[in-house]
Chains A and B, each alone.
Chain A
Amino acid sequence: MTAVRDATAFGALARDHLPRLYSLARRLLPEDPEELVQDCLLHAFRRFADLRDEVAAERWFNAILVNCAKDRYRAAGRSPEVPVDPVDEFSLFRTIAAADPFPYSDSLHVDFLCRFGAHDVHAVLADVPDLYRVPLVLVHMEGYPTKEVAAALEVPLGTLLSRLHRGRKLFERRLWDYAVQHDLLRDGGR
């Protein structure tokens, strides 16, 4: 009887969190979010007794999802470190200023960012290697403290901070490349 009640309670909780989990899974594993959410649901179901308080359910599901993502990265042997140069030296701010793509703009940098719709930003983010994208997603988009993310990813805080820095630089670099490739730098362009 308890097992049935637990399964029903789990089902209700999982349904509530599904849209959010899917969105996070798209950001952690863009090419296979559905498989990742399925892994997460199966693990969460088996460990449902560990969840003492439903208020903590969001963090509990997220932690399981991140662990499942780590298993998949490991299994695929993904994301080698990106060489330091020239990524660390790239500055999107300076690149935009030097290229001056909108000569009549008095808010050049903001105008540049306004060219990107949500779909474009998702595409750029998906193009950042896992190793750097995952810290960006968890810290800047999900709002987790850096120490907590370092613990979840099982890396020293210094390593996490370094990956965040490089993740930001890669994100900046790819925003610029995307803008060039998709004709976002032309006045009157898309």
Chain B
Amino acid sequence: MISCEAAVRRLWEHLESPVSLAERALLDEHLALCRRCCGEAEFAAELRGVLQRLPPEELPPDAGQRFEALIRQMEEQA
């Protein structure tokens, strides 16, 4: 059976993109026998959700005005 470290690493890789069936089987075998890694699996998904749900950073009004001036300059130069 693969180690907990290897299982945790595969958990994240599985969240990023589908792993091969053989990789998935190794992970499932580990998760079926290791309660700690089941918790790690749930936590990895939560942690990834924290990053995915992070709201966009606001464009400060003064920076927005400077960008607007730059875009106008480009339009006028054409």
Contacts and interface: CB of A to CB of B under 8 A. Distances in A.
Interface of A: 3-4, 6-8, 10-11, 14-15, 18-20, 22-23, 26-27, 33-34, 37-38, 41, 45, 89, 91-94, 97, 109-110, 113, 116, 118, 121-122, 125, 136, 139-141, 143, 145-146, 161, 164-165, 168, 171-172
Nearest to A1: B78
- Per DSSP, chain A at the interface is helix
A145 B16 CA distance: 8
Interface size class of B (residues with CB under 8 A): 35 or more
Contacts of B43: 92-93, 109
Given A140-B48, A172-B47, A34 B17 contact: no
Nearest to B43: A93
Interface of B: 5, 8-9, 12-13, 16-17, 36, 39-40, 42-44, 46-48, 50-52, 54-59, 63-64, 66-68, 70-72, 74-75, 77-78
The winner among A4, A23, A136, A140 for most chain B CB atoms within 10 A is: A140
